[in-house]
């Protein structure tokens, strides 16, 4: 790759636990930030690319540490739904999808993220027990976009006790017959899951330097000890992370108590598998002892404040976690629960929710902490701490250029505060991932984003007519929930 110089920009640089701004030239070589020099001092050679940095804030790309690309088509498709009915509705939307739909779903997910300054994502995929052929179109889509993506292979070998529809509808013959015909939550044997993980890792991990593969238990309480230990062992063998949902809902904590006699974080510690390799989406229903364990082992909870609020599962005790030294990351979750993949919204909510709930002012997260969650701590969740998530020599060049003349950034009084409280992606002008410009002035390097949107519109119509049996279950769940609400 030729050398690229971002000339005379305002760089958002790490400073201790926070950030500072400085006028600088940023030199990129072979996908790496080779140097950050005083503005106007970097020497350019013939053939080097020069990017004008005047009136640009240059910041590290945001890291969405929990997403679900399969639900991209379902944004705006449900409101005021409980966790059980929403997840079953999501399955009705996404079950039995052909490869071209999987590819377009991932493209659409990535397109939205890139345009709002996200340069890396952990995609917990798919929504059914994973097979290698299901991974192929999604890995290809993210690679085509040039997005840095970790695909967490969603796996489980125990029933989804926390999503059992008979708890809400009742145990009648019609429901049992429907579940027998179409149950997307059927468990798989551990040996088959292990073989699939090994096959997918061999095929895709490290592809183009952008794609990573993690084993990713669907939820730690939906897995036997054998599967949890197997996930840990594969991660140790290949130097990978492990991604999972963890105690998102109160009932998931109750399920752990039923099977293990203790909360799942404590059980994982007893198994000897709790470590920095684990990133854990939601982590809402954890107590002080579990927070202490997370801090000791430097496991990474991934806070999803918008989806938690929208489906009313509670909120993660982020102030306590931060005070204990837990490296909390941020995620958007799926668009079916959240409605978007915009990490600026997640940063704002992460700061404001504790204040709304009346948390003691001394524990309020501030803007720099939210920005750290969305950058450096996201890198920890991807097991790429020191590689991405900061503007510093030696890190991969995952960089976003913001227009300093937009209303939300002009004048720039405090970069961290304005990125967290004011910005929503409207100032994003250029996105560089691994040293390559993937987005510039509304144009994507991979091709026509509007055409992807048109394909999604056509595919949605086919999707809605595909899984009538699951939609029937979903309608009954929603009706039962609505009756309880009135």
Residue 472 has pLDDT above 90, yes or no: no
Cβ atoms 177, 191 nearer than 8 A: no
Residue 482 has pLDDT above 90, yes or no: no
Q: Is the dihedral of CA 26, 27, 30, 32 positive or negative?
A: negative
CA dist., res. 167 & res. 300, Å (int): 32
CA dist., res. 235 & res. 241, Å (int): 6
Residue 486 has pLDDT above 50, yes or no: no
Measuring CA to CA, which residue among 132, 133, 138, 75 is closest to residue 102? 138
pLDDT of residue 311: 92
Query: Angle between the 468-485 and 173-181 helix axes, to the nearest 10 degrees?
Result: 140
* Lookup: tokens for 96: 């039995």
pLDDT of residue 169: 82
pLDDT of residue 215: 98
Query: Angle between the 225-238 and 190-204 helix axes, to the nearest 10 degrees?
Result: 20
Query: Angle between the 288-297 and 264-271 helix axes, to the nearest 10 degrees?
Result: 40
Please, what is the average pLDDT of the chain? 95
For residues 179-208, one letter each, b for 16 or more C-beta atoms within 10 angstroms of the residue's C-beta and e for the rest, the string is beebbbbebbebeebbebbbebbeebbeee
pLDDT of residue 484: 67
CA dist., res. 15 & res. 342, Å (int): 25
Query: Angle between the 468-485 and 83-94 helix axes, to the nearest 10 degrees?
Result: 160
Query: What distances in angstroms separate CA 62 from CA 78, 326, 384, 420, 434, one per listed residue?
Result: 27, 19, 13, 11, 13
Say which residue the tokens 């489906």 belong to.
311
pTM of the predicted protein model = 0.97
Cβ atoms 219, 252 nearer than 8 A: yes
Burial of 47 (0-12, 13-18, 19+ CB in 10 A): exposed
Residue 353 has pLDDT above 70, yes or no: yes
Q: ∠ CA 66-68-71 to the nearest 5 degrees?
A: 145
pLDDT digits (tens, 9 = 90+) for 313-352: 999 999 999 999 999 999 999 999 999 999 999 999 999 9
* Lookup: tokens for 84: 């059980």
Residue 99 phi, psi (nearest 5): -60, -35
* Lookup: tokens for 318: 């982020």
128 in helix, strand or coil? coil
Domains annotated on the chain, with CATH: 4-60+390-444 (2.30.40.10), 62-381 (3.20.20.140)
pLDDT digits (tens, 9 = 90+) for 362-373: 889 999 999 999
Say which residue the tokens 């590819």 belong to.
103
Range 273-300 average pLDDT? 98
CA dist., res. 189 & res. 331, Å (int): 30
CA dist., res. 203 & res. 208, Å (int): 12
Measuring CA to CA, which residue among 101, 199, 109 is closest to residue 466? 101
Measuring CA to CA, which residue among 252, 306, 281 is closest to residue 79? 306
Chain centre distance of CA 4: 29
The stretches of 422-467 forming alpha helices (DSSP H) are 449-464
CA dist., res. 110 & res. 128, Å (int): 21
Query: Angle between the 250-260 and 264-271 helix axes, to the nearest 10 degrees?
Result: 40
């Amino acid at each position: 790759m030729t050398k690229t110089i971002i000339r005379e920009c305002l760089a958002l640089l790490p400073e201790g636990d926070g950030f500072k701004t400085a006028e600088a030239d940023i030199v990129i070589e072979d996908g790496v930030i080779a140097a950050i020099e005083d503005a106007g001092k970097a020497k350019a050679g013939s053939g080097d690319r020069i990017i004008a940095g005047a009136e640009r804030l240059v910041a590290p790309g945001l890291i969405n540490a929990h997403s679900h690309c399969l639900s991209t088509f379902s944004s705006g498709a449900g409101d005021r739904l409980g966790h059980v009915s929403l997840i079953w509705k999501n399955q009705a939307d996404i079950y039995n999808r052909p490869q071209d739909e999987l590819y377009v779903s991932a493209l659409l997910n990535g397109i939205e993220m890139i345009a709002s300054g996200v340069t890396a994502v952990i995609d917990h995929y798919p929504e059914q027990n994973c097979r290698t052929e299901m991974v192929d179109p999604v890995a290809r889509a993210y690679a085509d976009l040039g997005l840095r993506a970790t695909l967490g292979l969603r796996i489980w070998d125990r029933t989804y006790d926390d999503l059992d529809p008979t708890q809400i509808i009742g145990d009648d013959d019609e429901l049992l017959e429907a579940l027998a015909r179409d149950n997307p939550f059927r468990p798989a044997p551990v040996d088959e899951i292990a073989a699939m993980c090994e096959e997918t890792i061999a095929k895709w991990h490290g592809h183009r330097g952008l794609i990573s593969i993690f084993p990713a238990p669907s939820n730690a309480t939906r897995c036997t000890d054998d599967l949890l230990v197997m996930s840990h062992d594969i991660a140790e063998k290949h130097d990978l992370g492990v991604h999972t949902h963890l105690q998102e809902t109160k009932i998931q904590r109750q399920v752990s108590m039923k099977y293990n006699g203790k909360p799942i974080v404590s059980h994982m510690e007893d198994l000897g598998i709790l470590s920095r390799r684990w990133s854990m989406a939601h982590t809402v229903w954890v107590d002080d002892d579990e927070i202490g364990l997370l801090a000791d082992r430097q496991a990474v909870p991934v806070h999803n404040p918008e989806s938690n609020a929208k489906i009313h599962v509670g909120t993660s005790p982020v102030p306590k976690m931060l005070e204990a030294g837990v490296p909390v990351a941020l995620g958007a979750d799926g668009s079916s629960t959240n409605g978007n993949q915009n990490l600026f919204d997640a940063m704002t909510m992460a700061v404001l929710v504790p204040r709304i709930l009346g948390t003691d002012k001394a524990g309020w997260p501030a803007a720099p902490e939210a920005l750290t969650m969305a950058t450096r701590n996201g890198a920890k969740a991807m097991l790429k701490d020191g590689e991405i998530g900061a503007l510093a020599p030696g890190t991969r060049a995952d960089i976003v250029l913001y227009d300093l003349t937009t209303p939300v950034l002009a004048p720039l009084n405090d970069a961290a505060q304005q990125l967290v409280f004011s910005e929503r992606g409207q100032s994003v002008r250029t996105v560089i991932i691994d040293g390559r410009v993937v987005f510039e002035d509304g144009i994507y390097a991979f091709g026509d984003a509007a055409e992807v949107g048109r394909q999604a519109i056509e595919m949605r119509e086919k999707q809605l007519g595909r899984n009538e049996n699951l939609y029937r279950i979903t309608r009954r769940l929603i009706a039962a929930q609505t009756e309880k609400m009135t």
